[in-house]
Structure 1
Amino acid sequence: MARSHFVEAIREGRSGNYQKADTLIKAGEEAYNKIHQVHFSLIQKEANGEIFPFSLLFIHAEDQMLTAETLKIMAAEMIELCKTVVKGKTG
């Protein structure tokens, strides 16, 4: 879900809907923070000696989380770039 919010934020920013883009960024951050907490909890448990079997599903979920993190950074940068380009055209 976080990933989808960030992609949609980029689309809204490209269309000039910056308020909607900001709302989507915030929604994406909330979703990302939830998955990050679960991920961090699993890392803590493993650091304390609990063993978790790795599965394809877990690896896929981690990959999606890392993709969302990258998209979060890119979405914020791309929206700012859109604002700069528009400002340059009208300013």
Structure 2
Amino acid sequence: MADLERLSQIAMEIIAYSGVAKSTYIEAARLAREGNFEQAQEQILQGDEVLKTAHETHMQLLQKEAAENTPQVSMLVLHAEDQFMSCETIKVLVLEIIEIYKKLGKEA
């Protein structure tokens, strides 16, 4: 497989895994808003598994670049990096949102 093709494949995998993880985290926030905290936690765990796969794929990209000692930057790779980082940010925010919903539920 050509280098550019492999690089594009890795980037697309990161984008896809990050998107799935992001969706599960958002679903967790929705479930928490409805008071379904156990289901929300299950969604967080599912998202974590997918995010772990995205992280492993991201590491492949970094290792490939380090081994070749020739940084290859494309718009697709930049987009993959952006999606991966935004997913990590969303996870942190959703965890905080869930805690807020729990606290509000105790006060009601």
Q: SS at 1:48's partner residue?
A: helix
Structure 1 CA distance for aligned equivalents of residues 76 and 66 of structure 2: 21
Determine the structure 2 residue equivalent to 1:53: 72
1:25 pairs with 2:44: yes
Give the drift of 1:29: 0.5
Q: Percent identity?
A: 38
| Unaligned runs of at least 5 residues, structure 2 | 1-19
Give the drift of 1:52: 5.1
Choose from 100, 103, 106 the match for 1:81.
Answer: 100
The count of aligned residue pairs is 89
Give the drift of 1:80: 1.0
TM-score with structure 1 length normalisation?
0.87
Structure 1 CA distance for aligned equivalents of residues 82 and 37 of structure 2: 28
1:14 pairs with 2:24: no
RMSD of aligned residue pairs (Cα, Å): 1.4
Structure 2 CA distance for aligned equivalents of residues 63 and 5 of structure 1: 18
Structure 1 CA distance for aligned equivalents of residues 73 and 107 of structure 2: 50
Determine the structure 2 residue equivalent to 1:39: 58
Structure 2 CA distance for aligned equivalents of residues 27 and 75 of structure 1: 14
| Unaligned runs of at least 5 residues, structure 1 | none
